[in-house]
Amino acid sequence: MDAELQEWSADDVTQCEDRIVSQWREVSADERSQLCEKFDEILRPLGYETSLLVMRRANSIALYFICMTLLALTSLRDLWRSEKLRHIVQSLFTFLAGTDVYVKRLTWPVTEYESCLQFLRSIKGKPTWYWYISSMQQSCVLC
């Protein structure tokens, strides 16, 4: 999934994206950080079976989620369709950037969703660890 920032929401979008990603790496690496509580609060609407695993800068900010169940994946898609996920991501980015940030677009191609949907259906009943390794090998963007 890609998050594109609104140009007018930051003086320099590239610099703002770099700050968001570096803050994410720093805090997510230290689970004992007090900021983790704030992350948990912001990301709570995703549910307990969905986690934001990686945030990386590309042409925009790439977000990689891990969904432990088929229901978690479909729930995430529902949040995306209703634009609630964009608001969640925007809150997280604003917190990490230390300034108001507006997400112009949150892109999740249907082909990626369908690939992950098919993958989760195919492994039903298999251990989560196996699923995690397999999804990384298949480069499933959002599973």
| Best CA proximity match to 10, nearest among 18, 24, 2 | 18
State the distance between the two ends of the chain, measured CA to CA, in whole angstroms: 11
| CB-CB neighbours of 54 under 10 Å | 13
DSSP annotation of 64 reads E
pTM, full prediction: 0.78
pLDDT of res. 137: 38
Q: Give the three-class secondary structure for 18.
A: helix
Q: Give the three-class secondary structure for 139.
A: coil
Q: Give the three-class secondary structure for 105.
A: strand
> How far is residue 18 CA from its own chain's centroid?
16
The per-residue pLDDT for range 95-134, each reduced to its tens digit, is 999 889 999 989 999 999 999 898 888 876 555 544 444 4
Q: Which helix (H) or strand (E) holds 66?
A: strand 61-67
Token pair listed for 80: 């995306």
Would you say residue 22 has pLDDT above 50? yes
In the chain, where are the structural domains located? Answer: 2-109
Distance separating alpha carbons of residues 36 and 126, to the nearest angstrom: 30
Are residues 9 and 94 in contact, defined by beta-carbon separation less than 8 angstroms?
A: no
pLDDT of res. 33: 65
